[in-house]
Chains A and B, each alone.
Chain A
């Protein structure tokens, strides 16, 4: 354990998975936060970062998939993965409700990611001891 007191972390991800490996770094950081005894209730994906939740992204076999790294955090530790709804739909990331609403046959966002408003980021920041932002140059 890194510290006697567990801290509450919130991650804000602005880096798109297809531009460099920053989103893999961020997911690894999230796992390390938990491994050090802290809590990570929510990761909020904004702007280009919302592409991390694209269900149909294919990663080369000899590379790590950001999608897998994030969903493992959700599965193993219950971390909520939230895609900013306005950034997400602009990029074609739809959950089943949005897909239905816009007349598309199926969701394009991975089911372990939820679409939500910026209020969910605000809420997470209010309870967080640490907010860590990950962005990447284009």
Chain B
């Protein structure tokens, strides 16, 4: 497929995990899009930033550790992880807590992201 024919996708993840399986579905979709060499970015918005709290250990509840999946994103050619600045602040997340390479974005930058992609998937 030629580069011109490739349509970019913005995955917006707005729900905390593990309360909802939507968070996992958003990550799976992001990874699959990258695996097929399609341009994809991930935006953590609102309560979605809670997925980024460090030191998650889900072994006792018996589900996959999503933070580990998120940290592996650069390996799978996911272009960028963007994080809602206000929501991060509201939930006490500092830059040190975020995955490496994550970019904090204010409302203006979030709007610019929406405009810069062909398709938006809201999870």
The judgment on whether A and B are partners is yes
- B5-57 contacts to A, CB under 8 A, are 5-7, 9, 20-22, 24-25, 28-29, 32-33, 35-36, 38
Which of B67-75, B104-112, B115-123 contacts the other chain? Answer: B115-123
Contact A135 B38 (CB under 8 A): no
Closest CB of chain A to B58's CB: distance in Å? 16
Cross-chain pairs A/B with CB under 8 angstroms, 7 sampled: A46-B25, A48-B21, A87-B25, A125-B9, A126-B5, A135-B22, A138-B20
Size category, A interface: 20 to 34
With contact pairs A12-B121, A117-B32, A135-B122 given, residues A125 and B7 touching in the complex (Cβ less than 8 Å): yes
Cβ-neighbour of B7 out of A86, A126, A138 (below 8 A):
A126
With contact pairs A48-B21, A131-B119, A133-B121 given, residues A126 and B29 touching in the complex (Cβ less than 8 Å): no
Closest CB of chain A to B51's CB: distance in Å? 15
Contact B123 A135 (CB under 8 A): yes
Would you call A47 an interface residue if the criterion is a C-beta within 8 Å of the partner chain's C-beta atoms? yes
Closest CB of chain A to B14's CB: distance in Å? 10
Would you call B1 an interface residue if the criterion is a C-beta within 8 Å of the partner chain's C-beta atoms? yes
- B79-123 contacts to A, CB under 8 A, are 119-123
Q: How many residues of chain B have a CB within 8 Å of chain A?
A: 22
Cβ-neighbour of A121 out of B22, B29, B123 (below 8 A):
B29
The chain B residue sitting closest to A91, CB to CB, is B21
- How far does the alpha carbon of A86 sit from the alpha carbon of B64 in the complex, in Å? 14
Q: Enumerate chain A residues within 8 angstroms of B1, measured Cβ to Cβ.
A: 126
